[in-house]
Amino acid sequence: MRFVIVTGMSGAGKQTAMKMLEDMGFYCVDNLPVPLIDRFIEMLSSPAGELGKVALGLDVRADQDFTEAERMLSSLREKNYPFELIFMDAEEQVLIKRYKESRRMHPLAGTGSLESGIRREREILKNVKKTADYVFDTSNLLTRVLKEELDRIFLQGGEFENLIIRIVSFGFKYGIPMDADLVFDVRFLPNPYYIDELKHMSGNDEPVHSYVMGFPEAAEFLERLTDLLHFLIPNYVKEGKHQLVIAIGCTGGRHRSVTLAGELYDRLKTQGRYGLTITHRDEKL
């Protein structure tokens, strides 16, 4: 049997993850009172148990200070009971925005502020997050990408390094992506915009791609960037980073940056156990 426990910050997507696991064939149980979890696990472990895949949702609403939940998790580890722990997370400002849009009350806010409830919950869950097998930061994570990563882990049997890398092409004239961790400027390459037959195409079109990659500087840039990322990525994982945004920019974000972002994506997609996505922010502008 595969037993998955899903927990994390309220508003970070636990319900969404549970629904996705249910669609994958997991028997899902949410907000089970903590004193009943031991009995539930005993039932799953009995010879009569027929469930092959089970997901249990766990959050502070079932145990306001989470001490009993942490005790239960520690007990499972001490008994070497096989389970996997998913932690859903998001940045504070993102959680605040989601709660304000939904007009829901945070379970720990009480008569205090929404911010204080979120910060209290984060403090309560900090040790659980450290022990999680998979951490998903949904601050800028598309639902589609979350599903792809859960599919890779729980359907395809793929490994996951708790890091999702987003490659973003952009145009400097429209501003640097605010969530970028690493920004690379490829305006050192000749601009296809000034060639009439390429001007209205994008870096995803073969003529533009061939033009940009026809310069040896483009290939050398990719080699050096790939080497740098092979050094950085394992160290980011080691330091607990869960999302890395690599932004590649040119003047308008339609030609050079799109081509090189696509090339970088192709180089990285088969070389790691992390999630990988690509977005061309300004390609259609």
Residue-level pLDDT at 272: 66
Residue-level pLDDT at 167: 95
Residue-level pLDDT at 51: 75
Q: How many CA atoms lie within 13 A of 27 on its CB side?
A: 11
Residue-level pLDDT at 110: 72
Q: Give the domains, in start order, of the chain with CATH numbers.
A: 2-154 (3.40.50.300), 164-280 (no CATH)
- Give me the residues of the chain with pLDDT under 70, please: 47-50, 62-64, 111, 157-161, 272
Residue-level pLDDT at 275: 81
Residue-level pLDDT at 279: 92
Burial of 241 (0-12, 13-18, 19+ CB in 10 A): middle
Name the token pair of 42.
């005993």
Cβ–Cβ < 8 Å for 255, 193: yes
Cβ–Cβ < 8 Å for 17, 150: yes
How far is the CA of 232 from the CAs of 74, 206, 222, 239, 265, in angstroms? 33, 31, 15, 11, 16
Cβ–Cβ < 8 Å for 94, 135: no
* Count of beta carbons in the 10 Å neighbourhood of residue 124: 18
